Amino acid sequence: MRLVLEYDGTDFHGWQAQPAGRTVAGELSRAIATITGESPRLIAAGRTDAGAHSLGQTVSFELGREIAPGRLMTGLNAVLPDDVAVVDADIAPAGFHARFSARRRRYRYVVENREARSAVLRNHAWQVKSPLDVEAMRQAAGRLTGRRDLGAFGKDPAGRNTVRNLEAVDVTPLAAGGVGALIAFDLSADAFLYGMVRRIVGFLVDVGSGRRSAGDAAAGARVAPARGLYQMAVEY
């Protein structure tokens, strides 16, 4: 079975189930057990951080009995908490693996660039008070794309090599100037290192605020907070 989830990560300790702390995997496991009476091993496309959000988390698992995907989706949405929803369900092809079968992953990070504190986006964007130079951030982003060792921006959880194909890093103002100016950082790659998106955004914000130049090494750059991070989609 394959599910696509969306969730608001504000009140979660990330995706991965753990002994203490509320997690997305924990809530989904309980919902599946309620609907099917089974407790399958869940495999996710990626392990989102505590506080990070998703609009397209893919999850695969096997059930001992057949159940129509639409029926399962309806049942799960009836018992899942309000901050998690199943938005698609189907029968996964033979050999499908939510993580290893993925060809491309897309993430978005949202920065609210204004001085006044945010009431609406306080859990869904990183507020940066100092003005940001979008063009400088774009130039710095262009230096990061391509197949290269990105170990300065993250770690492989299994301790393997840190070479990744970072296909694109787009920096786009969503609201031009004034109160509530939003900037989106859209990244796509074959795979991401742990913490990679947040470190890249932290580095680019350092460039945009004049703290470092586009050619500076990433070491010492800020790590952007998880609340502005959105897992957008996983492509197979």
Residues with catalytic function:
49
Structure tokens at 1: 């079975």
Burial class of residue 57, CB neighbours in 10 A (0-12, 13-18, 19+): buried
DSSP state of 128: -
Q: Which ranges constitute the DSSP H helices of the chain?
A: 24-36, 69-79, 134-142, 196-208
The identity of residue 85, as a single letter, is: A
CA distances from 92 to 21, 103, 111 (A): 30, 16, 36
How far, in Å, CA of 123 to CA of 167, rounded? 28
Which residue is associated with the tokens 């790659």?
189
b/e per residue 177-201 (b: at least 16 CB within 10 A): eeeebbbbbbbbbebbbbbbbbbbb
**Residue 59 burial (10 A CB sphere; 0-12, 13-18, 19+):** buried
